[in-house]
Amino acid sequence: MSKRKLPTIVVSLVLILMIVSISGCTSDTSSTEEAKTTTETTSTQSPTPAGISNPAKVREPVSVKIRSYDDTKTVEVTVVDYIRGEKANAMIKDANMFNDDPKPGHEYLLVKVRVKYTEGSETLSVNPLDFRVVIDGAMHDYEWVVLPEETPKLDSVDLLPGGKVEGWLAFMVPENQKVLIAYQENMFDDPLAYIEIPER
């Protein structure tokens, strides 16, 4: 190799390295800008529909996704109807003489719920324990009482995709207080939806 060609080769290599490093810096900058944009977008999103701060209303269907290891299920949950106060208390008392009276300052709340399995490939288990009432920030299970014949209880079932089930649950709640019904696919997970029951 001649001495004249050596500096030309060195200069060419230096130029190639500079071009490669500049192009690498440019792509890093653009992905950093994209990441900043994504973060800003995420932080300004509206609250989750049917979340604790903006619960759904009675008769308003709530669609939730339940993710497992190998399947994602879409479920529609609705509080179809409710009865509370004197009427609910009388219904519970008439249904069975061994049903307890409500505690002082409390009343029975009867809630009719519907669970519809709209999409998925596996079965969906539905259980009365999937529903709890939220009172003053604390979650309470349903009451173990005999329900009247005209308000048949929600049964434990396994739904196939496209299937649905309806039934009633009884809760004991403070008189004249707004409460939330929480739906959770299993009692060890956080609730997926909240539905507001107005005060009397």
Q: How far apart are CA 89 and CA 92, in angstroms?
A: 5
**173 and 102 part of one domain:** yes
Give the up-direction half-sphere exposure of residue 191: CA atoms within 13 A in the CB hemisphere.
Answer: 26
For residue 52, being part of any structural domain is answered with no
Q: How far apart are CA 180 and CA 103, in angstroms?
A: 19
> Which pLDDT belongs to residue 186?
77
In a 3-state reduction of DSSP, which class is residue 23?
Answer: helix
**78 and 139 part of one domain:** yes
For residue 181, being part of any structural domain is answered with yes
Q: What is the DSSP letter of 57?
A: P
Phi, psi dihedrals of residue 124, rounded to the nearest 5°: -120, 120
**163 and 123 part of one domain:** yes
In a 3-state reduction of DSSP, which class is residue 54?
Answer: strand
> Which pLDDT belongs to residue 71?
85
Contact 89, 101 (CB under 8 A): yes
Tens of pLDDT, residue by residue, the chain (200 residues): 555 555 555 555 555 555 545 455 444 433 344 433 332 323 333 345 678 889 999 999 999 999 888 889 999 999 999 999 999 999 999 999 999 999 999 999 999 999 999 999 999 999 999 999 999 999 999 999 999 999 999 999 999 999 999 999 999 999 999 999 999 987 778 899 999 999 87
Residue ranges making up the domain that contains 16: 1-45
**36 and 66 part of one domain:** no
| Beta carbons within 8 Å of 90's beta carbon, 6+ residues apart | none
Rounded to the nearest angstrom, the gap between the alpha carbon of residue 21 and the centroid of all alpha carbons in its chain is 47
For residue 120, being part of any structural domain is answered with yes
Contact 78, 62 (CB under 8 A): yes
**10 and 106 part of one domain:** no
For residue 56, being part of any structural domain is answered with no
Between strands 131-135 and 138-140, the pairing is: antiparallel
Closest CA to 179 of 141, 142, 133, 140: 133
For residue 113, being part of any structural domain is answered with yes
Q: How far apart are CA 152 and CA 79, in angstroms?
A: 15
> Which pLDDT belongs to residue 70?
82
Q: How many domains does the chain have?
A: 2
**117 and 183 part of one domain:** yes
